[in-house]
Amino acid sequence: MANPVTEFWRRYRRNGAAVVGLAILCVVVAMALSAPVFFPTNPLRLVGPAELWPLTDARFPLGTDSLGRDIAAQLAHGAGTTLIIGLVASLVATTIGVGIGAAAGYYGGLVDDVLMRFTEIFQTIPNLIFLLALVAVLGPKIEHVVIGIGLISWTSVARLVRAEFMTLREREFVLASRAMGMSDLRIIVTQILPNAIPPVIVLASLIVAGAVLFESALAFLGLSDPNIASWGGLIGEGRLLIRTSWYVCALPGLAILLTVLALNLIGDGLNDVLNPMLKNR
């Protein structure tokens, strides 16, 4: 029997674009991990002359912003902020979505109706407006941003999990588990959920990409944590310099573009690996 990790990689690398996406994400992760080593001081402190263009001073290879802060340091530390927000927000959304979708799909009937109507209420609210209102009320702290993004991202997970559970709940192994006297919770957790989780993993990777964009939008509008370096915040601060020092916006914008692209490519690769209909494609 082939090693599961080896088999996973063999099937994943068939998708060349997914491999490229993984390589880009590894670069972003390496940048985030190395930030405290190469830029040990606060990335938001003033270190040089304002609006210093890239490659004009060896101390600041990517230049400085309007206040004289090192853009390279902000990009490196912002990578960590972006990844943490994306991963934790995706975890929050996935946890809520799996819980609601599993209950709705397994029990059906009135439970399904109530939970799906609740889900539809969230779907009718414009995501960005709801997120802006939530952060404005709670305050622009990083934990509030993460919770807010998670709360606007769970509905797609809930619908996907519900559909999977409705398909699986009448399978023979589930009926056998009921006949053996297993509790509903145990059946959901040990029998159905492991079979429903592959498409959820794919969707969770895409939620990370969406979380990166939402956080960037909040930071651009000045509603993210001002005490933490972030790519969206750097774009927001540089928008007034777009005519004279466009690189202040362009560099973090390129970082966001590549990271979101990488996450979407990885999602496609995971779909190729975990989707049984694409196994032999």
Half-sphere exposure of residue 35, counting CA atoms within 13 Å on the CB side? 23
Query: What pLDDT score does 278 carry?
Result: 56
Q: Which of 216, 189, 196 is nearest to 275 (CA)?
A: 196
Instruction: Please write the tens of the pLDDT for every residue from 16-64.
Output: 899 999 999 999 999 999 999 999 988 888 888 888 899 888 888 998 8
Q: Name the average pLDDT for the chain.
A: 87
Measured CA angle at 53 (ends 48, 57), to 5 deg? 60
The reported pLDDT for the residue numbered 73 is 92
Q: How far apart are CA 139 and CA 100, in angstroms?
A: 27
- Give the list of residues 6+ apart from residue 188 with CB closer than 8 angstroms, or none: 102, 106, 165
Query: What residues are paired with 70 via a beta bridge?
Result: 64
Provide φ and ψ at 64, rounded to 5°.
-130, 165
Q: Is the pLDDT of residue 268 over 80?
A: yes
Say if residue 158's pLDDT is above 90.
yes
pLDDT at residue 136 in the model:
85
Range 145-160 average pLDDT: 91
**76 has a pLDDT exceeding 90:** yes
pLDDT tens readout for residues 89-142: 999 999 999 999 999 999 988 999 999 999 998 888 888 888 888 888 888 888
What is the radius of gyration, based on Cα positions, of the chain? 22
pLDDT class for 197, splitting at 50, 70, 90?
confident
pLDDT at residue 1 greater than cutoff 80: no
Residue 56: how many CB atoms within 10 A of its CB?
A: 11
Domain residue limits, the chain: 4-41+81-228+236-278
Query: How many whole angstroms separate alpha carbon 251 and alpha carbon 232?
Result: 11
With a cut of 80, say whether residue 4 has pLDDT above it: no
Per-residue DSSP letter, 91: H
Band (181; pLDDT cuts 50, 70, 90) = confident
In this predicted model, what pLDDT tens digit does every residue of 205-263 receive, in sequence order? Answer: 889 999 888 888 888 887 888 888 888 888 888 888 888 888 988 999 999 999 999 99
Please report, rounded to a whole number, the percentage of residues in the chain having pLDDT higher than 70: 97
Q: Residue range 189-203: average pLDDT?
A: 88
Q: Which of these CATH numbers, 3.60.15.10, 1.10.490.130, 1.10.10.60, 1.10.3720.10, describes 4-41+81-228+236-278?
A: 1.10.3720.10
